[in-house]
């Protein structure tokens, strides 16, 4: 299995798939996050923020915004150990957000408020995986 961390979708096919209705009911987005050592802002601003610190600015903004779209952050934790399997490098953090449906996620992530906060996301992340999932329980 090959894994490629990305900060934004790079294929038009993936973007088109995100615009499809998706599964019924709530979705859970599993976020595997890899931070830069030092934040790198696209506008070239100088900063002493670590990638994690820049991402936390984004995270606080999204934690406030997500409720407006019927979502919530349900879990966030540092990755500390790989108990099974092999990867070249571990992710730094895992976060799970719940949305009423894929459309709510798309609406939030195209809002002006999200775009304003997302500059810190891009500055802080070396890459990530976003995995849409549906609960098998309840």
Residue 15 in this model has a pLDDT that exceeds 80: no
d(Cα 6, Cα 8) in Å, to the nearest integer?
6
CATH topology of domain 12-133: Alpha-Beta Plaits (3.30.70)
pLDDT in tens, 21-61: 777 889 999 999 999 999 999 999 999 999 999 999 999 99
The CA distance from 95 to 78, in Å, is 9
Nearest Cα neighbor of 30 from 118, 103, 113, 99 is: 99
Percent of the chain with pLDDT over 70: 86
Instruction: Quote the mean pLDDT of the chain.
Output: 89
Distances (CA, A) of 125 to 4, 38, 86, 120, 133: 13, 9, 22, 9, 22
């Amino acid at each position: 299995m090959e894994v490629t961390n990305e900060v934004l979708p790079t294929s038009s096919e993936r973007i088109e798939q995100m615009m499809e209705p998706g599964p019924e009911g709530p979705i859970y987005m599993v976020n595997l996050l890899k931070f830069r050592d030092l934040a790198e802002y696209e506008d070239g601003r100088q900063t002493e923020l670590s990638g994690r610190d820049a991402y936390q600015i984004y995270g606080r903004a999204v934690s406030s915004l997500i409720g407006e779209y019927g979502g919530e952050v349900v879990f966030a934790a540092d990755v500390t150990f790989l108990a099974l399997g092999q990867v070249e490098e571990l992710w730094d953090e895992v976060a799970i957000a719940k949305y009423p449906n894929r459309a709510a996620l798309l609406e939030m992530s195209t809002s002006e408020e999200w775009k304003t906060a997302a500059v810190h996301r891009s500055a802080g992340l070396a890459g990530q995986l976003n995995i849409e999932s549906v609960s098998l329980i309840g």
